[in-house]
Amino acid sequence: MKKIAILASLLVSLGLYGTAAFAEITGTSHDLTSNTTLLTNAGNTEICAYCHTPHDASTTNTTTPLWNHEDTQATYTMYSSPSLDMTIAVSPAGVSLACLSCHDGTVAADQLLNFPSGVNAGQGIFSLGNSLGTDLSNDHPISLTYNAAQDVDFVAPVNSQVNGLQLFGAGGDQVECGTCHSVHDNTNEPFLRMSNAGSALCLACHVK
Ligand code: HEC
Ligand code: HEC
Ligand code: HEC
Ligand code: HEC
């Protein structure tokens, strides 16, 4: 009896989890199944498949979990400024590269490593309306080592988070696209980790 009860509650929680994750992406612009020019034409209904695969995931982008999108090969101009105190990488790292594999506009959104069953190939180039391009010098710095000790104008991180905003990388100290954006949840448009009303997102890190 006990075992059955545990199993039942496990199934319920798995079911609930699945529905919740699905519901958050469904209908957002990250629900690429709603885009008829993509794999939907080939009968795909798998929302996650554009970004994740359960098997044979990327061996080149291993920082992004079970990653299924082909890498971008672009070279980027990074942000630079004389008043920058912290260290910025020479090129974007893992999680940001995952975003840029669609958002720099060089790789088709449906260029996957492991196509969902029944689909053999992408439907071709799909360029985003809002591509950032490869010049990131006019975008907020990313692949940046967050070190509040280098600048008093910053909130100190706790357990690799700054006021709940996730820092990435092996050292848990990198500001990446996913620090400000929640790729799965568009509650705070456009896919922000928290509302930026009153510049709250900016003030989560910056003491200004
Ligand atoms: C448009 C691309 C995209 C889609 C679609 C997508 N993901 Fe993700 N996912 C990412 C990226 C990028 C990361 C790593 C960055 C991050 O965690 O913010 C990630 C991280 C994750 C993680 C680990 C971190 C966490 O948030 O728990 C899980 C689990 C996950 N995704 C599950 C899913 C599932 C399940 C689906 C389908 C319902 C899905 N994802 C759809 C891009 C996507
Ligand atoms: C599989 C391709 C893909 C990946 C990977 C992906 N996106 Fe997107 N994203 C899209 C598409 C398609 C749109 C639709 C809007 C458009 O055409 O510009 C979009 C829209 C957005 C928007 C809203 C733009 C707007 O004007 O409303 C944001 C913000 C965004 N993505 C951020 C991210 C971030 C951050 C990541 C990584 C954590 C990411 N995306 C990964 C394909 C992708
Ligand atoms: C420091 C926080 C922060 C980081 C890091 C960040 N973004 Fe954003 N992003 C924002 C905010 C805030 C907005 C909304 C701007 C607005 O509404 O005026 C936004 C808007 C966007 C949009 C919508 C179109 C536009 O240009 O306004 C896209 C697409 C996007 N981000 C993608 C990315 C990608 C890809 C990365 C990594 C290369 C990234 N962002 C890194 C905070 C960030
Ligand atoms: C996750 C934390 C975080 C968030 C959120 C964040 N920033 Fe930053 N920002 C940083 C870090 C770290 C730097 C690099 C500071 C340095 O090296 O001196 C930076 C740099 C900057 C710079 C350039 C400073 C220079 O000296 O060139 C500006 C401007 C800026 N941020 C504005 C914003 C705005 C506006 C927002 C909200 C849309 C925002 N930031 C959100 C962490 C963050």
- Give residue ranges with CB within 6 A of ligand 4: 81, 83-86, 140-141, 144, 146, 151, 162, 165, 175, 179-180, 201-202, 204-206
168 CB-near residues (< 8 Å, 6+ apart): 63, 93, 94, 95, 174, 176, 178, 179
In the prediction, which pLDDT does 206 show? 98
In the prediction, which pLDDT does 36 show? 67
Q: How confident is the model at residue 29 (pLDDT cuts 50, 70, 90)?
A: confident
pLDDT per position as a tens digit, 117-134: 878 777 765 666 678 999
In the prediction, which pLDDT does 197 show? 97
Give the C-alpha separation, 175 to 167, whole Å: 5
Q: Is 207 in the pocket of ligand 2 (CB under 6 A)?
A: no
In the prediction, which pLDDT does 110 show? 87
In the prediction, which pLDDT does 118 show? 78
> Looking at 20-29, 56-65, 110-119, which range is the least confident one?
20-29
In the prediction, which pLDDT does 126 show? 65
In the prediction, which pLDDT does 32 show? 85
Q: Whose CA is nearest to atom 22 of ligand 1?
A: 65
Which of ligand 3's atoms lies nearest the C-alpha of 92?
38
110: its two tokens: 């449906």
In the prediction, which pLDDT does 12 show? 39
CA–centroid distance, residue 56 to ligand 2 (Å): 23
pLDDT per position as a tens digit, 34-74: 776 677 767 788 899 999 999 999 999 999 999 999 999 99
For the chain, give the mean pLDDT: 86
Q: Whose CA is nearest to atom 37 of ligand 4?
A: 202
CA–centroid distance, residue 16 to ligand 1 (Å): 17
In the prediction, which pLDDT does 127 show? 61
Is pLDDT larger for residue 57 or for residue 23?
57
129 CB-near residues (< 8 Å, 6+ apart): none
Which of ligand 2's atoms lies nearest the C-alpha of 191?
29
Considering every ligand atom shown, identify the ligand nearest to the alpha carbon of residue 153 and give its number: 4
Q: Contacts for 145-149 with beta carbons within 8 Å, 24 or more apart?
A: 145/86, 145/87, 145/88, 145/171, 145/173, 145/174, 145/175, 146/86, 146/173, 146/174, 146/175, 146/205, 147/86, 147/87, 147/173
Q: What is the mean pLDDT of residues 145-164?
A: 96
